[in-house]
Amino acid sequence: MIRFVCVSSVGNESSLYLNAITLIVPGFMKYFAVPLFTVLLIAEVCAQEQDDPPSPSPLTISGYVEVYYAYDFHTPANHTRPSFLYTYNRHNEVNINHGYIQTAYATERVRANLGLMAGTYANANLAAEPGVLKNVWEANAGVRLSATKKVWLDAGVFSSHIGFESAAGKDCWTLSRSLQAETSPYYEAGARLSYTTASDRWYFAALLLNGWQRIQRPDGNSTPASGTQVTFKPNDNVILNSSTFIGSDRPDSLGQVRYFHNLYAILQLTERIGVTAAFDYGIEEKPVGMRGAYTWWTSQVIVRGKIDDKVTVALRVEYDYDPNGVIVMAGPRGFRMGAASVNVDYHITDKAVWRVEARGMQGKDAVFGEQGNLDKGNVAVVTAVAVFF
């Protein structure tokens, strides 16, 4: 404890003060030096944090949930809309189209993503994948191969390099996915080597894949598949993209190789008006013993207008021509389908959007409805609310 010393006014004052200090200081240092040092250290750390704010964490968590209600005017009794639609495919019921939770890790030289999903999209589009693979949204890891250049090698399961649409509706101009998106890969598994120029104007990628929208290869298939992607962004208002795929989705014994090219342009014409145009062309060799090849193509144009900060409107027209049913065999003449849609989006907040869409489709064959009551045309209305963070 600290000693208090009483001194009289008689005698040498200097000696008395010196004796008092000699008695007081040791006690003070014994009991208060460590707490005082701790307080000073904390103050110094706080001052440094104010001068140098902490860097963002390399680990982030994001999530997405999209709830929808679709009404198909053919009123299918089993509540399932046409088999070539993988999104918003349940009639007259409130359901989850797509929901995921994702963790991402990113530093200067390493990155990784792990996302798990659920919903009617996953049930329909990943039906061929075994077990828990049906619930994989993304699962990949990558390393930057150069300290000075943006050269990355990624491997695992990731979004397809083909097309501009995603299963996550918030990233798309229209509520429903186009026929073009429904008949080409949403996801892929394999390895990707990519390079982005210093200006971020050019992006190049070469891919080695398990197949055409495959995590697990189909039985009897061991043919490696490959792909390429080139994206050019001359400015903030223009995106031009070319993507290719070469490989097989059939057993090796059939000897069928698929060649596919996707081309699209996204143009922001004014502050309020944007246009997207896309065209796909595919060739698949006929089975062993047959000469020639099958061909198909799809196209679409979307015009989107921004009414104000809360409301956007989009109009889409599209056509899918697959007479030999390479991708979709919906009728005697394969798949020949035109469609048009209009949707209105209301952005409730920057993390929530409410969407409504009306869509009509018209084909060459009667493929809509149920046996005994088939129709060449189809009309459906869909509404959805998406919340994300």
Q: DSSP letter string over 181-201? A: HHTS-SEEEEEEEEEE-TTSS
pLDDT exceeds 60 at position 10:
no
Strand bridging mode 352-363 / 335-349: antiparallel
Tens of pLDDT, residues 277-303: 999 999 999 999 999 999 999 999 999
pLDDT at residue 53, as a whole number: 63
The two beta strands, 94-106 and 110-118, are antiparallel
Average pLDDT, stretch 135-158? 98
Q: How confident is the model at residue 38 (pLDDT cuts 50, 70, 90)?
A: very low
**Which two structure tokens, joined as six digits, stand for 327?**
């991708």
pLDDT score of 51: 52
pLDDT the model gives residue 335: 95
What is the average per-residue pLDDT within 255-284? 97
User: What residues contact residue 331 under an 8 Å CB cut-off, 6+ apart?
Assistant: 363, 364, 365, 366, 367
Query: Token pair of 91, please?
Result: 């009639």
Query: What is the Cα–Cα distance from 220 to 181, expressed in whole angstroms?
Result: 27
* Confidence tier at 158 by pLDDT (50, 70, 90): very high
Domains and CATH numbers, the chain: 1-54 (no CATH), 64-388 (2.40.160.10)
Flag the least confident range among 12-21, 76-85, 357-366.
12-21
Q: Which residue has the higher pLDDT, 318 or 372?
A: 318
52 falls in which pLDDT band (50, 70, 90)?
low
Query: pLDDT tens digits for 96-134?
Result: 999 999 999 999 999 999 999 999 999 999 999 999 999
Average pLDDT over residues 179-197: 97
pLDDT at position 153: 98
Rounded Cα gap, residues 29 and 52, in angstroms? 33
pLDDT at residue 305, as a whole number:
98
* Residue 166, pLDDT score: 95
372: left (phi over 0), alpha (psi -120 to 50) or beta: left
Q: Which residue has the tokens 């949204």?
A: 137
What is the C-alpha separation between 288 and 256, in angstroms, rounded?
Answer: 7
252 SS3 class: helix
Helix (H) or strand (E) holding 36: helix 13-51
H/E stretch holding 50 = helix 13-51
User: What is the reported pLDDT for 330?
Assistant: 86
CA distances from 168 to 50, 66, 85, 133, 206 (A): 39, 8, 15, 18, 24
What global pTM score does this model have?
Answer: 0.84
Statement: residue 9 has pLDDT above 90: no
**Predicted pLDDT at 135:** 97
Q: Average model confidence (pLDDT) for the chain?
A: 89
- Please provide residue 254's backbone torsions phi and psi, each rounded to the nearest 5 degrees: -85, -20
pLDDT confidence tier of residue 224, bands split at 50, 70 and 90:
confident
Question: How many beta carbons lie within 10 A of that of residue 378, not counting itself?
Answer: 21
Beta-sheet pairing, 150-159 with 136-144: antiparallel
Element at 94 (helix H, strand E):
strand 94-106
Q: If DSSP codes are grouped into helix, strand and coil, which group holds residue 309?
A: coil
Distance CA 72, CA 377 (A): 11
SS3 15: helix
- Whether the predicted pLDDT of 21 surpasses 70: no
**pLDDT tens readout for residues 336-383:** 999 999 999 999 999 999 999 999 999 999 989 877 788 999 999 999
- Over residues 263-281, mean pLDDT: 98
